[in-house]
Amino acid sequence: MPEPALLRVEGLEAFYGDVQVLWGLSLSVRPGEVVAVIGPNGAGKTTLLKAIMGLVRCGRAGGGPALLYDGRPLDGKRPEDIVAGGIALVPEGARVFPEMTCRDNLLLGGYLLRDRAERQRALEEVLAMFPRLAERVRQPAKTMSGGERQMLAMGRALMGRPRFLLLDEPSLGLHPLMTSTIFQGIQRINQQGLTVLLVEQKVTFALKMSHRGYVLENGRIKMSASGQELLRDDYVKRAYLAV
Ligand SMILES: Nc1ncnc2c1ncn2[C@@H]1O[C@H](COP(=O)(O)OP(=O)(O)O)[C@@H](O)[C@H]1O
Ligand SMILES: [Mg+2]
């Protein structure tokens, strides 16, 4: 029997006011997978992640739940309950608190943990995962590089001990070397057992490390396959890899 999906999206529609931006979108993420969603600017990638977090009005074509997490509907749940259920979003642009130190930014991510000792344990785990953060714990976040701030934003999400991590363009604005460092970090996170849904425009990096991928265009899934198959696909090559 195939393993049931951790997240199943079925016929998802999403709206800003009266404007519909996702149209009958279906995808699934199985436990332990890294799944990439690639697509151009404005395709609806961020909206998909916001829909999963309960941050945008959405529904299902034909009615019924559009979002099943661990077999249970997420539709209509409040964002804080979705977070408490083990889903964490790292939004685009590595938003951290600039005046606060790296350490305090991380501790803020552990606010749901029961006590100080547990927060301290989570902090040590995150610092072990990202040694560059360990070297910078006392530094105000604003003095850190773009890549380090992205690590910090991911580390802060991990402080809440999620099962399922949503990443919105983690490599945005980073040079290739730092991009590769960030993707190695994502791979380590996945090897620790976290399931990852990754939205990216750096298609080669994203598909190389993903078990499966989906191409999202104009609010609709255009195709899906394994990461390797998508990298070899003629359409993907022409549209996204400029070869
Ligand atoms: N807050 C908003 N209000 C109205 N329209 C929005 C809003 N956010 C995004 N959109 C529109 O929704 C579409 C999808 O946007 P988005 O999900 O941000 O795409 P992507 O992340 O793939 O670049 C775009 O046409 C965008 O202009
Ligand atoms: Mg976006």
Alpha carbon of 47 to ligand 1 centroid (Å):
6
Q: Are residues 77 and 103 in the same domain?
A: no
Identify the domain boundary among 145, 161, 177: 161
Query: Are 93 and 192 members of one domain?
Result: no
Check whether residue 184 and residue 220 sit in a common domain.
yes
Nearest to 161 by CA among 128, 121, 130: 121
Q: Which helix (H) or strand (E) holds 153?
A: helix 146-158
Same domain, 7 and 53: yes
Query: Coil, strand or helix: which one is 70?
Result: coil
Residue that finishes a domain, picked among 138, 161, 184: 161
pLDDT of residue 243: 65
> What does the pLDDT average to over 36-47?
96
The bridge status of strand 67-69 relative to strand 212-217 is unpaired
- Mean pLDDT, to the nearest integer, of 173-181? 92
- My answer on whether 157 and 187 are in the same domain is no
Q: In the predicted model, is pLDDT for residue 41 greater than 60?
A: yes
Cα of 205 vs centre of ligand 1, distance in Å, is: 24
Are residues 174 and 81 both part of a single domain?
A: yes
Confidence of residue 195 (pLDDT cuts 50, 70, 90): very high
Packing angle, helices 116-129 and 146-158, rounded to 10: 140
Q: Which domain holds residue 111?
A: 88-161
- Give Cα 18 distance to the centre of its chain: 26
CATH number, domain with residue 234: 3.40.50.300
- 2 token code pair: 């195939």
* Predicted confidence (pLDDT) per residue in 57-87, tens digit: 999 988 899 999 999 999 999 999 999 999 9
End of a domain among 139, 161, 183?
Answer: 161
Question: Helices 102-109 and 116-129: crossing angle, nearest 10°?
Answer: 120
Q: Are 6 and 163 in contact (CB under 8 A)?
A: yes
Q: Is the pLDDT of residue 114 over 90?
A: no
Hey, which of 12, 13, 47 would you mutate to test ligand 1's pocket, going by the most ligand atoms within 8 Å of its Cβ?
47
Assess whether 175 and 240 both reside in one domain: yes
List pLDDT tens digits, range 204-230: 999 999 999 999 999 999 999 999 999
Residues 140 and 28 in one domain: no
Ligand 1-lining residues (CB < 6 angstroms): 16, 19, 21, 39, 41-47
Per the structure, how many domains does the chain have?
A: 2
Q: pTM for the whole thing? A: 0.95
Q: Is residue 116 located within the same domain as residue 17?
A: no
Write down the residue that tokens 């390797």 correspond to: 228
Nearest ligand to the CA of 57 is: 1
Distance 16 CA to ligand 1 centre (A): 8
Residues 101 and 5 in one domain: no
The model's pLDDT over 116-168, given as tens digits with 9 standing for 90+, comes to 899 999 999 999 999 999 999 999 999 999 999 999 999 999 999 999 999 99
Pair (77, 32) in one structural domain: yes
